[in-house]
Structure 1
Amino acid sequence: MRYSVLGVAQVWDGGGAPVPLAGGRLRSLVTVLALHAGRAVPQDTLIAEVWADAPPADAAGALQALVARLRKAVGRDAVASEPGGGYRLVAERDAVDLHLFETLLHDGEAALDRGDPAAARTTLSRALALWRGPALADLPDRAAAAARPEALRLAAMRARAEADLALGRAADALPLLREAVADHPLDEAFRAQLIRALRAAGRTADALMAYEDARTVLAETLGADPGPELRALHAALLRQDPRPDPDPDMASPGVPAPAPGGGAGARAGAGRGVDADRGPYQGTADPQAAAPVRGTSGRG
């Protein structure tokens, strides 16, 4: 059995056929159990996650009935009973798309770190293809639980774009980066990657327009100027610099140089990411773009 929670919850049987899951509560139960695949989930936790602030009068009985429906759909042996009324999804972690995604993200970042952008691109493309919609879409109160998966998706997008740039495939990176900038207009790291990709594709005029758009959005939304990396890229564009990245030693007077490591380090933005529960992504003005980048994909 395979379980998907990166979008509306779905289950596939051993032959790859979808298993019907009738009703939002049933999909919510699948989502919570899949998040903890292989581990016991206490009854109180299941009730709180499946019904949020509106549990039924007999919540324990309703949960038991919901588990019975799930067992009928996926097989009795797929959901084990635990002492105290809890339940456990009998599945390997990588049988759940979210956990597989985290594994692939970790492996893709590791490939970039060891200087193998081709392997990184293949692995990260596979990771991003697992997403079918918003993470944990069936949870009635998904915002907090989905923050970390959504942040990891941004990390995978940054790393995939960086792999494309390292491979000289700037044109392949442009659709992903345009989507990322549209969805996260205050994220300077994505904007910097978009400008780099346009410049590498020989589209200097478009790169200058992308910088001007970034400057305007930041000024109108935050009352702020672009950060050091964007300003250094702008200076390089004005010099018609043919190099793929601005040289810190050649920055214009008064223009702060970008952070060291404009190659692998730049794939994640101007700074390293942090775990989603420790604060916003460093080097971006978009609080929704919080994304751990290296060694934060949360395996295990």
Structure 2
Amino acid sequence: MRYCLLGPTRVLTADGSELPVGGPRVRALLTALALRPGRALPVAALVDEVWHGDEPPADAVAALQALVGRLRKALGRDRVPSAEGGGYRLGAAREDVDVYRFERLAAEGAAALAAGDPARAAALLDEALGLWAGPALADLPDRHAEAARWEARRLDARRARLDAALALGRAADALPELTALCAGRPLDEPLQVLRIRALREAGRSAEALAAYEEVRRTLADRLGADPGPGLRALHEDLLAAETPTPAAARTAPAPGNLRARLTSFVGRDEEIAALRQDLAAARLVTLLGPGGAGKTRLSQEAAERVADTWPDGVWAAELAPVRDPEAVPEAVLAALGARETVLRGAGAEELRTAGDPLSRLVEHCAGRRMLLLLDNCEHVVGAAA
């Protein structure tokens, strides 16, 4: 017979059919015995577990004997023998009880993962997790401490299974479960490492950086602590992967008009990560700050780091020289290289006056996927908006 404690207490026969066990007290008795298969449990200990939280009957020994009789009727007398010196035991091996089978399979799965065999690890861990049908020890009145231990092992197994999924190249499949788990356990760093790895391996590096920043802030706010070595190392890997390739090394430069800068950009990783997250989620992002705070350089650096996601390029329009708000659309058209011109006289060039500049700008941009950076627009903010 198989005894199932990972969920409601059940007994399965060799062919998988379920035996009716009885009411709550009988199931509590069976749970207490199955947790120590083959071991004799004294009557006093069994009474305490079965009636925990309630006043036991006046004749608790007789009441327990009646429950044992009902359990023997369900399972067979030989499966619940009396122990020498009093008490009772369940005639079963550890492998007959699902909590211990889960324990073995989870340990073997973790060992296979550590040995570099994620496929075998995934199969073992799937079998282990498949034994769960609900909260552990659901029919034991005093379940909390013991159940918490098994729930912690279940979480360890889920972490290992998700790690195996990443090793097998299935990051996108693992992300929904990782996202849900991390939402309920924001301080679980190993779990957060898996989520950030999955985002990176699913090609969502900007979201991975933003997720790291979110975890860093949560740890600081709740614990006053910095991320541990695992998270920090992953963050460094993400930043290294995001370092822009020098312009001279690019074989097929993307369109755009961002100017190459002669100095390196150091620090401000949190602001870069936040900007990348916002750019991935919103059509309009506004960067605010006092004069001289470095908004221009920060915005250009963030724009350059996401340039590969914009097939029609990243374009910067410098609006500092523009004094007339009505000239803003024309200035942006000029920055995009989209001014329409005609020749007059001896080769003199003039802007074509036909058509509204804003309409021409919309027409130019409508069929393209581009990122447009409007710099120094405070004095013409209405027109820029």
Q: Which amino acid aligns with 1:70?
A: L
* Greater Rg over alpha carbons, structure: 2
Q: Which amino acid aligns with 1:32?
A: A
- Equivalence for 1:198: 199
SS at match of 1:40: coil
Question: For residues 95 and 171 of structure 1, what CA distance do their matches in structure 2 show?
Answer: 36
- Equivalence for 2:70: 69
Question: For residues 72 and 102 of structure 1, what CA distance do their matches in structure 2 show?
Answer: 30
Output the TM-score relative to the length of structure 2. 0.59
- Equivalence for 1:119: 120
Question: For residues 208 and 79 of structure 2, what CA distance do their matches in structure 1 show?
Answer: 53
1:83-135: CA deviation from partner (whole Å, max 9, x where unpaired): 23311111221111101001101211221232211111100111011111111
Output the TM-score relative to the length of structure 1. 0.75
When structure 1 is superposed on structure 2, of 4-13 and 173-182 the one drifting more is 173-182
When structure 1 is superposed on structure 2, of 220-229 and 74-83 the one drifting more is 220-229
When structure 1 is superposed on structure 2, of 186-195 and 218-227 the one drifting more is 218-227
Paired residues of 1:38 and 1:88 also in contact (CA < 8 A): yes
Q: CA deviation at 1:241?
A: 5.2
* 1:43-122 to 2 correspondences below 5 Å: 43-54=43-54, 55-122=56-123
Task: Could you tell me which runs of 5 or more consecutive residues in structure 2 were left unpaired when the two chains were aligned.
Answer: 244-265, 270-385
The 3 A distance-change label for structure 1 pair 241 and 64 is farther
SS at match of 1:89: coil
* 1:233-252 to 2 correspondences below 5 Å: 233-240=234-241
Task: Could you tell me which runs of 5 or more consecutive residues in structure 1 were left unpaired when the two chains were aligned.
Answer: 243-251, 256-300
Question: For residues 241 and 152 of structure 1, what CA distance do their matches in structure 2 show?
Answer: 36
1:47-104: CA deviation from partner (whole Å, max 9, x where unpaired): 1211124322221111111111111222222211112331111122111110100110
- Equivalence for 1:188: 189
Paired residues of 1:120 and 1:160 also in contact (CA < 8 A): yes
- Equivalence for 2:133: 132
After the TM superposition, which parts of structure 1 deviate over 3 Å for at least 4 consecutive aligned residues? none
Question: For residues 92 and 104 of structure 2, what CA distance do their matches in structure 1 show?
Answer: 16
- Equivalence for 2:19: 19
SS at match of 1:147: helix
Paired residues of 1:43 and 1:84 also in contact (CA < 8 A): no
Question: For residues 47 and 176 of structure 1, what CA distance do their matches in structure 2 show?
Answer: 41
Q: CA deviation at 1:187?
A: 0.6
Question: For residues 210 and 65 of structure 2, what CA distance do their matches in structure 1 show?
Answer: 58
SS at match of 1:11: strand
Question: For residues 6 and 16 of structure 2, what CA distance do their matches in structure 1 show?
Answer: 17
- Equivalence for 2:211: 210
Paired residues of 2:22 and 2:71 also in contact (CA < 8 A): no
Question: For residues 158 and 207 of structure 1, what CA distance do their matches in structure 2 show?
Answer: 18
Larger RCO: 1 or 2 (CA < 8 Å, sep 6+): 1
Q: CA deviation at 1:147?
A: 2.5
Paired residues of 1:108 and 1:124 also in contact (CA < 8 A): yes
- Equivalence for 1:291: none
Identity %: 58
When structure 1 is superposed on structure 2, of 195-204 and 81-90 the one drifting more is 81-90
Q: Which amino acid aligns with 2:22?
A: A
SS at match of 2:81: strand
Paired residues of 1:40 and 1:82 also in contact (CA < 8 A): yes
Q: CA deviation at 1:219?
A: 3.1
Paired residues of 1:157 and 1:176 also in contact (CA < 8 A): no
Paired residues of 2:22 and 2:70 also in contact (CA < 8 A): no
Q: CA deviation at 1:182?
A: 2.7
SS at match of 2:89: strand
Q: CA deviation at 1:175?
A: 3.1
- Equivalence for 2:144: 143
Question: For residues 227 and 94 of structure 2, what CA distance do their matches in structure 1 show?
Answer: 41
Q: Which amino acid aligns with 1:144?
A: A
* 1:144-293 to 2 correspondences below 5 Å: 144-240=145-241
Q: Which amino acid aligns with 2:241?
A: Q
Q: CA deviation at 1:31?
A: 0.9
SS at match of 1:185: coil
The 3 A distance-change label for structure 1 pair 219 and 101 is same
1:113-162: CA deviation from partner (whole Å, max 9, x where unpaired): 32211111100111011111111112211121123212211221121122
Q: Which amino acid aligns with 2:82?
A: S
Determine if the alignment matches structure 1 residue 34 to structure 2 residue 34: yes
- Equivalence for 2:7: 7
